[in-house]
Structures are given as C-alpha cells and as structure tokens.
Amino acid sequence: MRRIWGIALSAVVSVGLAGCQRSGESAGDPAAASGRPGAAANVTAERLLNAASEPSQWMTYGGTYDEQRYSRLTQINRDNVKQLGLAWFADYDTNLQQTGTPLYIDGVIYVSTAWSKVYAFDARTGKQLWQYNPKVPGEWAVKVCCGLVNRGIAAWNGKIYVGTLDGRLVAIDAKTGKEAWAKRVIDPNYRYSFTVAPRVVKGKVLLGPSGGEFGVRGYIAAYDAETGEEVWRFYTVPGNPADGFENEALKKAAATWGGEWWKLGGGGTVWDAIVYDSVNDLLFFGTGNGTPWNQRDRDPTGGDNLYLASIIAVEPDTGEYVWHYQTTPADTWDYDATSPMMLANVVLDGKERRVLMQPSKNGFFYMLDPATGELLRATAFTEVNWADGVDMKTGRPRVRKEARYSEGKPFNGLPGAQGAHGWHGNAFDPETGLLYIPTQHAYFPWVEDPKYAPSDVGFNLGIDFAAQFTYYQKNPKAPKDFVGFLQAWDPVAGKTVWRGEINEGPTGGALATAGGLVFQGGGRSQEFRAYDARTGEKLWSMQAQTGVLAPPISYEVDGKQYIAVSVGGNQTQGYYAPNYSRLLVFTLGGTAQLPPPKEYTERPLQPPPATAPAAVVEAGRARYSQYCAACHGENGQTRGATFPDLTRTPLLHTQEGFDQVVLKGVLEEKGMVSFAHALKPEDTQAIRAFIIARANELKSSMPAGGAAAPPPPRDAHQDPGR
C-alpha cells in the first residue's frame, strides 16, 4: 500500500509533491556565475585525480576519489566557528526527505532532490540557475524500497549525471539544465530503481540499482559518459546455472548457493558505496542483502551466498573480478555491505599503509588492504549481539547460534535491520587520524515467517515484518530503541574516542575540515552542528526546522569559505506537515534568516469503532505486513513522516473510499498504485480492519485530555535511503 491520503487534502498534497518547473527550466547561466565563460562543470580526469589540490571545489560525491569527505579549507575553524551564520538558502519544490550530497564546481552548486530532480544555484547568491525534472511516473513509487530519495550526482566534461528512480541514466547540460541524453539502463520488467550517486572514472559513469527486497539480481555497470552505452556489467550473484555464468568469479560463487535462488534474482544490489583507487587502479563497491532476507527461504542448504554482503574489487576498465571480502556470510539479517567506504593512509604496526575502511551495517569496522583484500582490522564499533567478534584467521564472524532465529525462536537482534551504520556519509581527518561515523543503536525482532511465499508485489523477506509490533507486545521487557549519534573512531586502535549527542532515530552524515571541525546533522533533532574534531565539544549549532540527514560539503569562492547542506524530512508532525526541504549555505558573518515555521495542526486520531472479529484483524495484519508496512510502517503509522499515517486517514471511515485508492488506483499519479492484482476485496477489508483496530489502540493509550498519541515504534526502514 503506497502513499494514501484523504481525498479532501489531495489538492494540497499535490502542490507539495508536484514539480513547479518543466524539465530543464533555466533561470541563468552557470558558466557566467562561475566567472569562467563556457566552463560549466568543467570536470576532467586530471581534475578528479588531483581533486585534493583544489580544496575550493567539491567535484565528486565524497570530495575526492578517496571519499574521505575531508575539506582542506581552514578559514572556518574551531576558533571562529561561533561566528558562522546563514549566507543564503534555497527552497526545493518537494515535501519529501532529502539525502543528496551537493557538488560545487567553479561558482555553481548542483544538488539532487527527491524524485531524482536536479538543481543548479549560483554559489555566491543562491539564485536558481536551472532545475531539471526527469518526471518520474508517480506509479513507479511501488518499485522503490525506502523512500523517493536520491543521494547524489556526478559531473564530467560539462554534464551532470543522475540516476532516476525509474531506471534512467540522464546526462544534463550543466550550462543550460537541458537534457543532453537519457538512457533506460534497467530492465523495466524487474523492480529496479536508482537512488545511488553515480561516480565517473576514466570517462565511464558507474551506477548500481536498488531493489534487493523485491526480487532482482544485483549488479554494477559502467556506461560511456558521452553516449550512455553500457561498457561492462558485473553481476553480484550468479544466475541460473542452466544458462552458464558470465565469468569464472560467478561460477565459483554458484558453489556457495543452493536451491533455486535465481528465480527471485538473489539480491545483492549495489545501492551505495562505490570507490575508485587511483593508486592501485581498482574499483571497490559494496553489495546488499539477499532476496529474501531469511536465508532458509533463499537457500535451504545454508551456503555462504557469494557475493552478498561483500566488498568487491574489479578492474575499472573491464569490470573483471580481482578480489572480494564477505563481511556477513550466509546473511539473514539484512546486513548490507553497502555502507560508505573510503581510502586513507594510516600508520599500522609502525608502517604507513594505504587501507580501505568501512564501518559496516552489521556493527563491525573493517580495514582491508586495497590491493589484495587482506583483512587488517575487524572490530565492533558499537554494541552487537549477533556475533562474538570476527576470526582474523578466516575473516568470518563468530555468529551466535540463536541469532539465526529458527522457526518459533525469535531473536531480538542488535544491530537490527536498521543497521549500526547506513548510507550516511563518514568523514576522515588525516590530521587527527580519526574516522567520524554516524552510528545507530537499534534493535529488531527477527521472527521467521513460516507462511512465506515469493511475491511480485511488496517485499520478499521471509520474516514476520509485523513482529516489530507484536514481539514487543509479548515481550515488554525486551530492549528496544532506535537512536543515533556521531562517534569519533580510532581505526588503528579500534576504539571510540568521543561521542556526540544521542538523537532519536538516525543521525546525519559528516564532514571533517582542516579547520579542526566536524560538521554533522542531528537527524530528526533538526539540529546542524559543528564539533571540535579532537574533543567532540559542540562549538556551534543551528535549528534547521527540519531533519538533517545528508552529508554537508565545503567550498570556497572569492576567497570565502562556505558550508552547504541539503536538509528536509523527518517531520515530527506527520506526512502533511511542511518539512522545509532546502539547501542551506553558511559562511562567517552570514546574516540571512529562515522564515518562521508555518502553523500546522496534525490530523486528529478519530478512527471508526473497531468491530471486526479478531481473526479478520489478524488476517489484515498479515496482509498489511507484506504489502503496506514497507511504506506506512509496521502498525499503520508512518515511517518518519515519509508516507501518510494510515491510523489518521479519513479513508478509514468508508470501505468504498479505501478501495478507490487501494484497488482502483485513483492516486496512482501520486505514487499509490492499484494493488488489485495482488489483493481481493476481502483482503482490503481485513487490512482496513487491522488499521482501525490499531488506531483505536493508539487512541486508548492517549493521556487524559486527548494529548497526542505516543510516537510510533521505529521500524526497519524508517530511514529511507536505499
């Protein structure tokens, strides 16, 4: 079930969701803004290879190919950061969550937003130069796992590249904002989508699709940056053995699989980390979870299932396999290895050594030799209860038996499916030698679904998704939380040096600077902060009026340093509340002010009486878990305000109105497609009965006087980003 709202408010919602400009609408000349006529996005191989020598720029997703998210600018520093103020801001035309890292190139900021839109702004003034809207069909939302987000863009030879939710690779003329070309690069018969930031290496655009929950076969591909033609593709899991294998690496991987995994694709999508090592001329990427999550449903033989949850190295020119390291063999917990990675030089055992580092979703920090894949360090960077550590001789985690949650034996896992670390950008300061990790502490009850059957609608998990609610009802003393914080981690010593404030839910990405600072967003706390990089003392902060999750960047123009961050999302008041999605840009002495927040009254919690028999409600819970919880939360309440709160929708008052949306698809253009091919009228009646029952439970738990219901429990994918 996707994006349901009351018919009476649909006009208001459409204003918030619809694009305000046509594709490529231009309001200026970015080349003129840069002071270098004809130089819009003049990014070359030489500039990318030497990006560290141009600290005024931010030309690629992680700042440089090493992806350290470290700015060598020093004008803003620990001594004067209290003078930091807002230089300018620019509103986006969407009310959805923002996760994109901006690029800054020669006077122009480029940034992607929800629905795969791209903006260009004059970096001095904030004047919008153009907006590109790929016009992703609203109905494609049903094929997207975890929010209609986009994490970033790439620049090369006068073009800006974006991967769209509906599977296109688009090249945009950086000077005009007009589409240079667009290629559909996925098979539309499968539920792929693009949320990853592309990278450009040697004239090739690198891109991997999302969709690991939906029954796809993961891969990463390289496309010619001038034409969009595919140069090579590396599949991350083997296909049907009867068809042969694309290479020897996949033939070897097939020996670690059993059953008929290829019928659901296997999973293993490359939806985030992609890093190029110019020293060793290797490309690294991380792979995601299997399809389904529960390994017993995916592979009853219990094999390692290569190359799921792995870090893989390939030749960037050909995509030829070089080495791999599997962080979580036989993954059954959604422990993707796609969290951001970076390259750095550290002193290890008395010698300086180039290393590849990743704080993983599974709670362990990994350090590898980038040339060989040798495991150098593997240490838990936060509390974990699924494994007792990593065997350094074999590289395998020492998994606790109970963690594999066999039927009838739930496991309250830490980290949960939310992960100890997600897509939120890490930062590394070569001066302090510290890695700054946005960290999550979150439980998740793993309960096997004995009735699981593959489906081409909704998630394919093999677990009881509704257990996020029912498990804690039955086990009220079981630990449960979902909090986030920034920590400074010593990657050599394997220990935490300091921690920032603890926030409810996920926390934001980080930026380290040579001014001795770490900038980072506090997630739904709505605070944007600057910490002392060595001590963790909070030196400066501002209220952004909205969630701050995307990593910031720093740039310099006309001798002045700026900090820029894309904000938006995590409305505490619900889906329909304004979320103030914007680009915020700061400098010393900045005096701009955000407009005051608008008054907003949340929809009342006024469900009809719960009259359905318990058996119907229970049937509705099961169907809701499979088809609706992915977007609307495990119990009818919205996931971080990314989708409407169904316990408060007026559609609960009439089955006919409910079915107009769920079965007839009247809101398809807004992303809520018809589920008539998967659900029958009796199914939607049961789903509505479940939501009504849950809404009445929430209403009865309200304090005297009718105060707002307690916040909803956090579910596995409450932080969109895949």
Taking all residues of the chain, what is their mean pLDDT, rounded to a whole number?
Answer: 90
∠ CA 485-528-437, nearest 5°, is 30
Q: What is the largest CA-CA distance in the chain?
A: 72
Element of type H or E holding 388: strand 387-390
**Which pLDDT belongs to residue 627?**
81
CA distance 626 to 452: 10
CA distance 628 to 615: 19
**Which pLDDT belongs to residue 16?**
35
CA distance 430 to 633: 41
**What are the sequence ranges of the domains in the chain?**
7-17+604-700
Pairing label, strands 510-513, 70-71: parallel
Q: What is the mean pLDDT of residues 46-67?
A: 98
Using an 8 Å Cβ cutoff, are 326 and 307 in contact? yes
What pLDDT digit, counting tens, does each position of 274-306 carry? 999 999 999 999 999 999 999 999 999 999 999
Q: What is the mean pLDDT of residues 570-597?
A: 89
What pLDDT digit, counting tens, does each position of 538-558 carry? 999 999 999 999 999 999 999
For residue 307, cis peptide bond before it (omega within 30 degrees of 0): yes
What pLDDT digit, counting tens, does each position of 112-132 carry? 999 999 999 999 999 999 999
Q: Active-site residue 187, yes or no?
A: no
Choice among 28-37, 479-488, 520-529, 574-583 with the minimum mean pLDDT: 28-37
Using an 8 Å Cβ cutoff, are 213 and 268 in contact? no
Whether 644 has a pLDDT exceeding 90, the answer reads no
What pLDDT digit, counting tens, does each position of 168-192 carry? 999 999 999 999 999 999 999 899 9
SS3 242: helix
Which amino acid type is present at position 239? G
Query: Token match 């060989």: residue?
Result: 372
CA distance 377 to 389: 11
CA distance 505 to 503: 6
What pLDDT digit, counting tens, does each position of 59-106 carry? 999 999 999 999 999 999 999 999 999 999 999 998 889 999 999 999
CA distance 655 to 355: 58
At residue 9 the predicted structure's pLDDT band, cuts being 50, 70 and 90, is: very low
Task: For domain 7-17+604-700, give the CATH number.
Answer: 1.10.760.10
Whether 10 has a pLDDT exceeding 50, the answer reads no
* pTM of this structure: 0.91
Using an 8 Å Cβ cutoff, are 423 and 269 in contact? no
What pLDDT digit, counting tens, does each position of 679-716 carry? 999 989 999 999 999 889 888 887 755 544 444 444 55
At residue 629 the predicted structure's pLDDT band, cuts being 50, 70 and 90, is: confident
CA distance 602 to 706: 13
Sign of CA dihedral 285, 286, 290, 296: positive
**Which pLDDT belongs to residue 15?**
31
Whether 161 has a pLDDT exceeding 90, the answer reads yes
CA distance 246 to 251: 8
**Which pLDDT belongs to residue 642?**
64
Pairing label, strands 159-163, 168-173: antiparallel
Element of type H or E holding 685: helix 681-700
Rounded CA Rg of the chain = 24
**Which pLDDT belongs to residue 711?**
47
Q: Identify the active-site residue in 334, 645, 683, 715.
A: 334
At residue 39 the predicted structure's pLDDT band, cuts being 50, 70 and 90, is: confident
**Which pLDDT belongs to residue 705?**
52
Question: How many beta carbons lie within 10 A of that of residue 224, not counting itself?
Answer: 13
Q: What is the mean pLDDT of residues 26-51?
A: 74
Q: What is the mean pLDDT of residues 312-329?
A: 98
∠ CA 669-674-679, nearest 5°, is 165
Sign of CA dihedral 683, 689, 691, 694: negative
Q: What is the mean pLDDT of residues 375-397?
A: 98
**Which pLDDT belongs to residue 571?**
62
Whether 576 has a pLDDT exceeding 60, the answer reads yes
- Token reading at 16: 């918030």
At residue 626 the predicted structure's pLDDT band, cuts being 50, 70 and 90, is: confident
